[in-house]
């Protein structure tokens, strides 16, 4: 390099020497902790995260629990903190129960970013409250998603109105709480002829969501529709409608788009699916972590989009690419 610099100045060139060689560059480790491992939504998020990690030369570790539950997620988080990654991307499974466990990561000097779900109010880096310490929140706009589901269900059941309900996971999860809120607000404000019955909570168990559908239908033979507020709620609600022999009669709007959604839309069991863009969430999660670790400032919130999939567009490749990888 010295000889080249000398030669460069001898012939009047300005040598630009990069600070350090590729092999001196620090390799960062980013851990991604999903809500649960066996969920097409998080499997797709992982793919996006891996694509960014490959592009940036980051080591990505994917470690999660088999259920969407803080009781099993917190030990995974503790074990991850003990391995001292440079950053943790996590989908917290509860708005309050993950605050203290995540503070431990922050205290250990690990950069914390939440993906999909948030802790506290989801307003980070404001100096308010005790859960604003994560650096960024990267996710769908779930209130908007709930409103979109309400509009789709209102359209599916037609002008006359009628009874519908939300099949949901459990209270305390930021995403599904916001979807239910957006759904109910939209119905109240814009579709007053539609009655929203009590929410049925299924603990992320599709079988439970299916039996609940049948129980609600048994009590309300005039039930017109159901909004499945996440992947398992929607699959379960759809199965319940099918088992009750009400395919096409009780309309189903699904949040999320696992592979099975294509058949269910084509068969008429599901009217529309609101697909999130989980690969984008994973991709921007890793990019944000890397930017922060290398001294850049990063946006405190990044919103990713939706694609509404229905019979009219399900075979279009520009739409089908948003169906999740199983
Ligand atoms: O809907 C997604 C995710 O956004 C939510 O936070 C939890 O459930 C899913 O993973 C789907 O199962």
**Residue whose CA is at the smallest distance from ligand 1 atom 5:** 175
Question: Alpha-carbon distance 126 to 136, whole Å?
Answer: 11
Supply the DSSP string of 80-106, one letter for each residue.
Answer: HHHT--SEEEE--SSTTTTHHHHHHHH
Instruction: Report the C-alpha gap between 243 and 250 in whole angstroms.
Output: 12
Asked whether the CA dihedral 282, 124, 57, 16 is positive or negative, the reply is positive
Percent of the chain exceeding pLDDT 90 equals: 91
C-beta of 117 in contact with ligand 1 (< 6 A): yes
State yes or no: pLDDT of 209 exceeds 90: yes
The pLDDT of residue 24 is: 65
How many angstroms separate the CA atoms of 116 and 303, rounded? 10
184 and 191 Cβ atoms separated by less than 8 Å:
no
Q: Which protein residue's CA is at the shortest distance from atom 11 of ligand 1? A: 231
Does the beta carbon of 271 lie inside 6 Å of ligand 1? no
Which atom of ligand 1 lies nearest, measured to the CA of 229?
A: 1
With bands split at pLDDT 50, 70 and 90, how would you rate the model's confidence at 242?
A: very high
177 Cβ inside 6 Å of ligand 1: no
Is a pLDDT exceeding 90 seen at residue 58? yes
CA 174 / ligand 1 centre spacing (Å): 10
Q: Is 264 in the pocket of ligand 1 (CB under 6 A)?
A: no
Residue 4: predicted pLDDT: 41
- What residue's CA is closest to ligand 1, atom 6? 175
Of 301, 265, 36, 23, which is closest to residue 142 (Cα–Cα)?
301
Binding site membership of 232 for ligand 1 (Cβ less than 6 Å): yes
- Residue ranges in 21-94 assigned as alpha helix (H): 40-56, 70-82
Separation of 224 CA from ligand 1 center, angstroms?
25
CA dihedral 218, 222, 223, 225 (to 10 degrees): 150
- Best substitution site from 46, 175, 204 to test ligand 1's pocket, by max atoms within 8 Å of Cβ? 175
Q: Kindly state if the Cβ of 231 falls inside 6 Å of ligand 1.
A: yes
**Average pLDDT taken over every residue of the chain:** 94
CA of 280 to the centre of ligand 1 (A): 14
Mutate to test the pocket of ligand 1, among 41, 90, 137, 140 (most ligand atoms within 8 A of CB): 41
Q: Residue 41 C-alpha to ligand 1 middle, in angstroms?
A: 6
What is the model's pLDDT at position 159?
A: 82
Give me the pLDDT at residue 22, please: 53
- 2 to 5, 7, 9, 24, 134: CA distances (angstroms): 5, 9, 11, 19, 45
252-308 per-position pLDDT tens digit: 999 999 999 999 999 999 999 999 999 999 999 999 999 999 999 999 999 999 999
- Per-residue pLDDT tens over the stretch 59-109: 999 999 999 999 999 999 999 999 999 999 999 999 999 999 999 999 999
Digit-coded pLDDT (tens) for 130-174: 999 999 999 999 999 999 999 999 999 998 899 999 999 999 999
The tens digit of pLDDT for each residue in 15-41 reads 455 555 555 689 999 999 999 999 999
More confident residue, 10 or 107: 107
State the pLDDT at residue 12: 46
Nearest CA to ligand 1 atom 10: 41
Higher pLDDT, 54 or 8: 54
> Ligand 1 center to residue 94 CA distance, Å?
12
What is the rounded radius of gyration, in angstroms, for the C-alpha atoms of the chain? 23
* CA 143 to centroid of ligand 1, rounded, Å: 14
């Amino acid at each position: 390099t010295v000889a080249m610099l000398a030669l460069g100045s001898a012939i009047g060139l300005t040598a630009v020497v990069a600070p350090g060689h590729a092999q001196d560059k620090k390799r960062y480790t980013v851990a991604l902790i999903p809500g649960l491992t066996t969920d097409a939504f998080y499997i797709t998020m992982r793919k996006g995260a891996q694509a960014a990690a490959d592009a940036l030369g980051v080591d990505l570790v994917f470690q999660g629990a088999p259920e969407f539950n803080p009781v099993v997620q917190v030990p995974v988080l503790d074990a991850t903190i003990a391995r001292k990654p440079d950053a943790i991307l996590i989908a917290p499974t509860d708005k309050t129960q993950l605050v203290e466990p995540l503070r431990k990561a922050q205290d250990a000097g690990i950069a914390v970013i939440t993906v999909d779900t948030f802790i506290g109010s989801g307003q980070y880096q404001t100096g308010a409250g005790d859960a604003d310490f994560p650096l960024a929140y990267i996710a769908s706009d779930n209130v908007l998603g709930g409103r979109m589901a309400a509009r789709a269900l209102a359209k599916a059941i037609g002008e006359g109105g009628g009874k519908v309900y939300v099949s949901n996971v459990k209270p305390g999860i930021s995403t599904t709480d916001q979807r239910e809120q957006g759904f109910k607000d939209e119905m109240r404000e814009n579709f007053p002829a539609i009655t929203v019955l009590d929410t049925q909570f299924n603990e992320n168990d599709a079988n439970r969501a299916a039996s609940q559908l049948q129980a609600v239908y048994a009590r309300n033979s005039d039930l017109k529709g159901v909004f499945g507020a996440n992947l398992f709620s929607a699959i379960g609600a759809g199965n319940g409608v099918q088992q009750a022999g009400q395919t096409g009669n009780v309309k189903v709007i699904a949040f999320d788009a696992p592979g099975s959604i294509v058949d269910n839309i084509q068969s008429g069991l599901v009217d529309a699916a609101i697909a999130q863009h989980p690969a984008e969430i994973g991709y921007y999660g890793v990019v944000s972590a890397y930017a922060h670790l290398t001294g850049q400032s990063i946006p405190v919130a990044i919103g990713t989009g939706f694609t509404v999939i229905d019979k009219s567009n399900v075979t279009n490749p520009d739409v089908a690419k948003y169906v999740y990888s199983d």
